Structure 1
Amino acid sequence: MNTVAKYSAIGAAIAVVAGLGITWFASTRVANDDIFAQCRSSVVAGGTGQIGGPFTLTDENGKTVTDKDVITEPSIIYFGYTYCPDVCPLDSARNAEAVAILEGRGYSVTPIFISVDTARDTPETLRAFTELMSPKMIGLTGTPEQIRQASQEYRTYFKVQDPGDPYTLIDHSTQSYLVFPKIGFVEYFNRDTTPEQMADKVGCFVDAWKKAGETAESGN
């Protein structure tokens, strides 16, 4: 190997090592900056900031509310509809049970049900549904535009199969979203997550959230 080639090879090796070092430092820093790193089990393409955002809807009492009005503590958001024959009641009951388990452990979490059925889910209909599920559950509806906007913010999907049929079914995604005041979305849960698993995971996130808040206060 001539001298030029030798030093070129050494330089390339140094660049690779330096690049790996920068990558390791960056990934370590991201992990260290993430107060929920030890709790996460899902990965969101582009980061958690890609999911969630502001919305203006109507609650089950007919009052216009924003996300800041309803997300006042750790909350679990689900998009569905009350006429759903199976999936929505089961998922909502699971979320309600997880909230009840958490309450028994000393955690306060609010389940939120956002209807994608603007034609049939009136505030009164939602109130009957949420009261059946949990005394803490908040039901939200709105205009087609408002619901579409909220759905887009949370990257959910829904499609009315036959808009002219009063008994139509609605295709929709079934993830539940854990959100915090000011922070927003932090984690999602699939349908196969049990109430106990959800409670354990949410408890981890709430503990980390509270610890970060205490650390921030002590630093002031």
Structure 2
Amino acid sequence: MLSSIRTAGARRVCVGVPRVSSVFSRAFTINDRLLNEKEVETNEAKSEVVSKRKPLSRIAIGGSSGSSQRNPGGSIEFTTWKAAALLVLVGGSLFYFFDKEKRRLQIEKEAEANRGYGKPLVGGPFKLIDQDGNEFTEKNLLGKFSILYFGFTHCPDICPDELDKLGVWLDKLEKRGIRPQSIFITCDPARDQPQVIKEYLSEFHPSLIGLTGDYDEIKNACKQYRVYFSTPPTLQPGQDYLVDHSIFFYLMDPEGKFIDALGRQYDENTGADKIEEHVKAYVPSDKREKREEKWYSFLFK
């Protein structure tokens, strides 16, 4: 009897232990589940907060992105290709300016060398009369650029060709705002009287001025400009003849100083261009003298 009671009590005790363990197990499971759910909610809340934050820039301070951006003012920042285009534009402009200035200095040096030092190598005082019988001297060359040509009205081919070319030069220069006075001086005073010269030059450019004089005056003018001319040693009255002479256009500056001699190598275009270069490169003597005192005077020597 006793043993059966003990057996039953033991059985009750043994049966009760598993039940308590199951309750605790369920409680722990529910607690873990609640904790997990709370952790998930917390993580989701953190993710939402992080997503609302403005992402940090990966660009270093002072750096720039590869694409165009707008600043607060609304202007577009320069990109690499725009900077390169600006560099090419500025570089090209500077090259053009310095190349043009280099050419101008070269022409100026050339003119200064032709003027010579002290007494001019080419040019000087003379006294002649124009096609209207008015006196014309070296003082009439002052104040403007002048182009002098020595020839004669009975010249069969060279003089007409050269005067035609001179007319083209004058027309081209006038379109560029340059109006030099053009002067024809005869090397044949015996036949080229004022009226003869006037009629002859009317076939060419209307601005041409014709000069003549007696033999000695013409000879002196040719000597001043280093012009060679000659007539046959023996002449009969009324005999036709040719005059041998130099073929140059003498360009004089507004101070009456020689700048350059343009020969037959200059055509209708290059001659006008050369004269224009000299006109634009011209610097008055007083400014040239003052410039010699400057530290940068070596640039003009």
Q: State the TM bucket, normalised to the shorter chain.
A: 0.7 to 0.9
Question: Which structure shows the higher strand fraction?
Answer: 1
Aligned to 1:179: 252
Q: Distance in 2 between matches of 1:65 and 1:51?
A: 18
SS, match of residue 194 in structure 1: coil
Larger Rg over CA atoms: 2
The structural deviation recorded for 1:166 is: 3.0
Quick one: which amino acid aligns to residue 240 of structure 2? Answer: Y
Percent identity, please: 33
Alignment match, 1:201 = 274
Alignment pair present for 1:156 and 2:227: yes
Evaluate the alpha carbon distance shift between residue 36 and residue 68 of structure 1 in structure 2; reply closer, same or farther with a 3 A threshold. farther
Runs of 4+ displaced beyond 4 Å: 43-48
TM-score (norm 2): 0.55
1:148-202 CA distances to partner (integer Å, 9 max, x unpaired)?
0000000010011253353111111101100123241100011121121111011
Distance in 1, matches of 2:278 and 2:247, equals 21
Work out whether residues 51 and 185 of structure 1, in 8 Å CA contact, stay in contact via their aligned partners in 2.
yes
Q: What is the DSSP-based 3-state SS (H/G/I as helix, E as strand, rest coil) of the residue aligned with 1:49?
A: coil
1:111 pairs with 2:182: yes
Aligned AA for 1:187?
D
The count of corresponding residues between Structure 1 and Structure 2 is 180
Residue equivalent to 2:99: none
Instruction: Tell me how far apart the structure 1 counterparts of residues 133 and 245 of structure 2 sit (CA, whole Å).
Output: 24
Instruction: Give structure 1 stretches of 5+ with no counterpart.
Output: 1-34
Q: How does 1:1-220 map to 2 (within 5 A)?
A: 37-38=106-107, 40=110, 49-70=120-141, 72-161=143-232, 162-164=234-236, 166-209=239-282, 212-213=283-284, 216=287
User: What is the root-mean-square deviation of aligned Cα atoms in Å?
Assistant: 2.6
Tell whether the 8 Å contact from 2:231 to 2:243 is kept in structure 1 after alignment: yes
Normalising by structure 1, we get a TM-score of 0.74
**CA deviation after TM superposition for structure 1 residue 37, in Å:** 3.8
Is the 2:115–2:122 Cα contact (8 Å) retained in structure 1?
no
**Match for 2:221: what amino acid?**
A
Gaps of 5+ in 2: 1-103, 291-301
Q: Which has the higher contact order (CA 8 A, sep 6+)?
A: 1
